[in-house]
């Protein structure tokens, strides 16, 4: 019986390996590489913020994002959307708890969960003008532009977590590559990456040393170079 069970899972592993090959074929491989590069961006943030207690939460977010990318590349699409949602939520929680150490300590003790509605609250959430203005007045007016897409992508990923009927129709019944779903994940992950990068920038960048800003300049410009305010903070030349 154990042998038959092992054979079953070896066939599934072989199917995942085939999906991985197709996920890296042609231009799709470039999408995978671009998505993977974000892990290094977040690891750089952790290094720059080393010593701050909330980096523990950000490290959890990195692991979830890595699992999400592994899942989408291997054909485990529902798990990919679920982990992507958690990566977004944990990243936002790291930002919120950076301003409230008590809540962070409660989370560590298992006395508090992250609460998405609180994180994204229009008046007090981390992408509200009021919150951002505490740490970066120049970015406060830009915050609402990122809130809407973050809310939407979280809701869309939640549909896969909760098993909404349309997700069962959209996802392949067998473990196989599905380009439509692959591209849907890529589109959502792009929004997630942008939202996280803005949230981290708005919360921390103006409090960093010039040296640490310099270390973050390339990833910040890669993701947020369209923002005149971000470029001004970094000292980049507009239109460069």
Q: Is residue 146 pLDDT above 70, yes or no?
A: yes
The model's confidence at residue 240, banded by pLDDT at 50, 70 and 90, is very low
Residue range 87-142, pLDDT digits in tens: 999 999 999 999 999 999 999 999 999 999 999 999 999 999 999 999 999 999 99
Question: What residues contact residue 205 under an 8 Å CB cut-off, 6+ apart?
Answer: 136, 213, 216, 220, 230, 233, 234
Per-residue pLDDT, 139: 97
DSSP 236: P
- What is the per-residue pLDDT across 176-211, written as a single tens digit (0 to 9) for each? 999 999 999 999 999 999 999 999 999 999 999 999
Evaluate if residue 239 carries a pLDDT over 50.
no
pLDDT digits (tens, 9 = 90+) for 26-66: 999 999 999 999 999 999 999 999 999 999 999 999 999 99
**DSSP character string of 102-161:** HHHHHHHTTS----HHHHT-TTTSTTSHHHHHHH-HHHHTTHHHHHHHHHHHHHHHHHHH
**CA dihedral sign of residues 179, 195, 210, 50:** negative
Indicate if the pLDDT at residue 217 is higher than 90.
yes
Q: What is the mean pLDDT of the chain?
A: 96
Tokens of 183: 């591209």
Give pLDDT, residue 2: 87
* 1-9 average pLDDT score: 92
- Contact (CB, 8 A) for 12 and 169: no
Mean pLDDT across the stretch 70-91?
Answer: 98
Q: Label residue 236 by pLDDT band (50, 70, 90).
A: low
DSSP string, 184-221: HHHHHHHHHHHHHHHHHHHHHGGGS-HHHHHHHHHHHH
Tokens of 133: 């203005």
């Amino acid at each position: 019986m154990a042998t038959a069970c092992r054979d079953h899972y070896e066939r599934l592993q072989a199917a995942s390996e085939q999906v991985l090959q197709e996920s890296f074929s042609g231009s799709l491989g470039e999408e995978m590489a671009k998505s993977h590069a974000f892990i290094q961006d977040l690891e750089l943030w952790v290094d720059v913020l080393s010593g701050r207690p909330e980096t523990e939460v950000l490290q959890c977010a990195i692991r979830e994002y890595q699992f999400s990318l592994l899942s989408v590349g291997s054909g485990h699409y529902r798990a990919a959307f679920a982990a992507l949602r958690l990566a977004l939520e944990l990243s936002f929680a790291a930002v919120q708890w950076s301003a409230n150490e008590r809540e962070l300590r409660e989370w560590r003790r298992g006395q508090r969960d992250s609460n998405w509605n609180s994180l994204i609250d229009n008046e007090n959430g981390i992408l509200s003008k009021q919150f951002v203005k505490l740490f970066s007045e120049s970015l406060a007016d830009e915050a609402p532009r990122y809130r809407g897409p973050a809310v939407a992508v979280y809701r869309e990923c939640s549909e896969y977590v909760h098993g909404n009927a349309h997700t069962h129709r959209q996802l392949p019944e067998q473990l196989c590559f599905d380009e439509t779903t692959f591209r849907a994940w890529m589109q959502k992950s792009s929004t997630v990456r942008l939202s996280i990068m803005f949230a981290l920038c708005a919360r921390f960048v103006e409090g960093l040393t010039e040296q640490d800003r310099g270390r973050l300049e390339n990833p910040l410009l890669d993701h947020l170079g369209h923002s005149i305010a971000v470029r001004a903070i970094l000292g980049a030349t507009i239109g460069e």
